[in-house]
């Protein structure tokens, strides 16, 4: 029986002249006598059992009008949607604005995510290429695929201000306890070429210091990729991927791949501006960098040693999980008409 029904029965007995103890017994002790007393008192004072008005003062800040203003702003094309900017526009405090967003509108704050900007007809090309890959590449093919990329590491490492905060009493104390990220004016750099396969990572190829990568140098890298692929797959029949960088799409590079790999994704079939489709870009490079202790890196040679060590520690099951998500990402881009994949986990 619902509480409201019990209240109505209790008051009905009270109107017939019965007392609280007797009413409690008649209700088979489903409610305490003190509760029956409270119901009777409320009825005598107000003439009903309706809930009393809230004892607090009426809202003077988080009004329905202001909440609707905020709601309409979030649904509009207006770019001023941060709590600070809306507080200024609506002449309110930032605290009030945050309460409206969180408590009244059930919103959660998300930081902007840097992503690859799509240009011109990139979306159309991305969808077309992903359709081709979906029809051409099956999951079993991934076990014979080598995904490749080149990346620059610096001795400073990667700094993300959102993940490197320090709790302290003041700025000075924070600075003394790791609140400052020191960067060199001209940090030592290392460019690395790497291949990722179902059977493991290739040995990293380190470019000479201060050397600019050109097509001729890349042909040398391709011979390393081929040698490492033959070692990892123990076969000359395996598949090759590279992105749309100019040195990859040059006629020399494309012809070399055509003559040396059983299958490779040609330049007109790899989606433009699509780092979220390369396992190295969407996961593996980050994993390698996260495993490097940059505090103990002071030179280019130190960095090379740390990169080698981090690569050697990459778990094979992690690699297979990351590579295994490739086709799911391809399907996602195709399904969403070439749009970028945001917050897609490997």
Amino acid 113: pLDDT = 61
What number of other Cβ atoms are within 10 A of residue 183's Cβ?
Answer: 11
For the chain, what is the radius of gyration of the CA atoms?
33
In 3D, which of 291, 292, 274, 290 has the Cα closest to residue 344?
A: 274
Amino acid 212: pLDDT = 76
Amino acid 238: pLDDT = 95
122-335 sits in which CATH class?
alpha beta
Percent of the chain exceeding pLDDT 90 equals 47
Which band of pLDDT confidence, cut at 50, 70 and 90, is reported for residue 186? low
> Domain coordinates of the chain in residue numbers?
3-46, 64-104, 122-335
CA distance 53 to 59: 13
Lowest mean pLDDT among 18-32, 116-130, 241-255: 18-32
pTM value surpassing 0.75: no
Q: Are 193 and 204 in contact (CB under 8 A)?
A: yes
In this predicted structure, the answer to whether residue 85 has a pLDDT above a threshold of 90 is no
In this predicted structure, the answer to whether residue 80 has a pLDDT above a threshold of 90 is no
Q: Are 333 and 339 in contact (CB under 8 A)?
A: yes
CA distance 318 to 168: 36
Amino acid 159: pLDDT = 47
pLDDT tens-digit readout, 106-138: 888 766 666 667 888 999 999 999 999 999 999
Backbone φ and ψ of 214, nearest 5°: -125, 180
Amino acid 346: pLDDT = 41
CA distance 187 to 159: 14
In this predicted structure, the answer to whether residue 160 has a pLDDT above a threshold of 60 is no
Q: Are 232 and 197 in contact (CB under 8 A)?
A: yes
Q: Is residue 317 helix, strand or coil? A: helix
In this predicted structure, the answer to whether residue 30 has a pLDDT above a threshold of 80 is no
Q: Please, what is the average pLDDT of the chain? A: 84
């Amino acid at each position: 029986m619902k509480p409201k029904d019990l209240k109505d029965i209790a008051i009905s007995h009270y109107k017939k002249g019965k007392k609280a103890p007797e009413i409690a017994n008649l209700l088979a002790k489903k409610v305490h006598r003190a509760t029956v007393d409270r119901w009777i008192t409320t009825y005598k004072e107000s003439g009903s059992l309706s809930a009393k008005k809230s004892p607090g003062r009426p809202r003077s800040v988080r009004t329905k009008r202001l909440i609707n203003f905020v709601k309409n702003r979030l649904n509009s094309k207006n770019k001023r949607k941060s709590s600070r900017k809306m507080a200024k526009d609506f002449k309110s405090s930032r605290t009030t604005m945050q309460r409206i967003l969180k408590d009244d509108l059930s919103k959660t704050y998300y930081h902007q995510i840097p992503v690859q900007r799509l240009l011109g007809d990139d979306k159309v090309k991305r969808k077309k290429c992903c359709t081709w890959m979906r029809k051409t590449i099956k999951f079993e093919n991934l076990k014979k695929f080598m995904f490749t990329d080149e990346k620059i590491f610096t001795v400073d490492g990667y700094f993300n201000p959102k993940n490197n905060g320090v709790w302290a009493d003041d700025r000075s104390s924070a600075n003394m306890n790791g609140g400052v990220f020191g960067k060199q004016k001209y940090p030592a750099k290392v460019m690395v070429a790497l291949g990722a396969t179902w059977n493991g990572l290739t040995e990293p190829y380190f470019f000479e210091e201060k050397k600019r990568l050109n097509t001729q140098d890349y042909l040398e890298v391709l011979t390393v990729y081929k040698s490492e692929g033959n070692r990892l797959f123990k076969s000359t029949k395996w598949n090759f991927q590279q992105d749309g960088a100019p040195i990859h799409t040059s006629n020399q590079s494309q012809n070399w791949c055509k003559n040396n790999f059983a299958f490779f994704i040609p330049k007109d079939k790899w989606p433009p501006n699509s780092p979220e489709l390369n396992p190295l870009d969407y996961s593996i490079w980050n994993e390698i960098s996260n495993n490097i202790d940059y505090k103990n890196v002071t030179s280019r040679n130190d960095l090379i040693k740390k990169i080698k060590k981090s690569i050697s520690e990459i778990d094979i099951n992690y690699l297979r999980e990351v590579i295994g998500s490739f086709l799911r990402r391809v399907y996602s881009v195709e399904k969403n008409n070439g749009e970028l994949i945001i917050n897609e986990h490997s």
